[in-house]
Chain A
């Protein structure tokens, strides 16, 4: 069983502590009523019960968080793979929320809500069983309150839940509006509309607050029902036991209570509804956790790698259109054989990188025909290359695990990284972190290009290979790509006029 569920059952140990404490005070009070001094065992039971309760209260979250993290760590691992391993995944900002924030929310759900739910299902029955040992009638009274309690929760709960869920949405929308207006403030200020927009934000927030308060009036009824029955349970047990001890019950008493038994039942009565109060306290974690689960469930699983065509024969794209809601790229037409250099041009944001991704089979075009090679025929030299924590060598051979040091050094030499290594007195064992600390933007880009060359694949896609480079370096890289293009097909996304001039063909988006 998962640790967080075990933590829920551990709350039953807490009941044991409560029973020990209740026995201690019942024994002490009974002795006092009989005119004796309270026995030492009574005090020992009180303190022992307290220690047990303290230990459970400490142990449950510790156990639960361990169990929760045993669930969330693999979830995060698989989400990162699904989100970064597929071109169809949401934007990086949304992906980060899914893989990091939503996973943290689920950890909260597993740590606080799951143990409370398990305890709420099991602990009240155990509490009734313990109380029944002292007074069957008191136990029956508690069970009897359960019927109107459940009825009341259904009445107050169902209506309230729907209303409060709608209101949660309204509050979410309000947050979105607030974020949107903060985000667009520069243009709002530019048109001198800031006062009007501020007024509008003020009116919207006040309106949502007013409606939320109206909803809360109903929503808090269900917690009032819980509160009422947990207070009523104590009151009914106290009144029954009192009248039973006085012999004034209006019905024949099925049992003969002693003060010790009566006091024990009274002290244990609050424990009956306590698990449900704990559950109610974790309700917010439940709502958030379920929303996070639903969002994560919508992330598609990784598609199995497509079976690659036998041999690379070139790329043929006709009238290819890539469309997202609100954005369309293309139609684009592009053709390249097994060798040659094609330049893909167009202003920033016109979709050059997206078209490269479509050629690489990473995002599906929404219309048009595209004949492209399998994934293992493609090397990609990125604008922001991947750098994993490790050595320079590790990073260069990511796509060619069997490349020897000689090949690695040759690639470094080709892309012009050798002077950088010499300047630092560093070798292939140069340590890099995931941000590529210490490498300039241009050096990182060269690293990506070297990795793509080492991969030795028939089609090379290079995204802005010469951006941010000085003239001499840009010319060297252009010459290198020209040379590579005699043996392989090379498609570059660029707006560098020299590279465009060196290309065999230009495709403008």
Chain B
């Protein structure tokens, strides 16, 4: 779970980083947020499937490790 936490933290900071760069380029906050979100609104079905598959894969690994750890603890 620590891994997921770190990744989410990094992702949030990176998004802020990217938005700051857009603002420094001359866009206002609204436009830069819209620019960041828009590519995901016009995705095709295949793209959406792959995108969610990747997210599920990211979550499954750490959750499985956590489950195994708890199971071992319970067995002890």
Pair from one complex = no
B-to-A contact residues, CB < 8 Å:
none
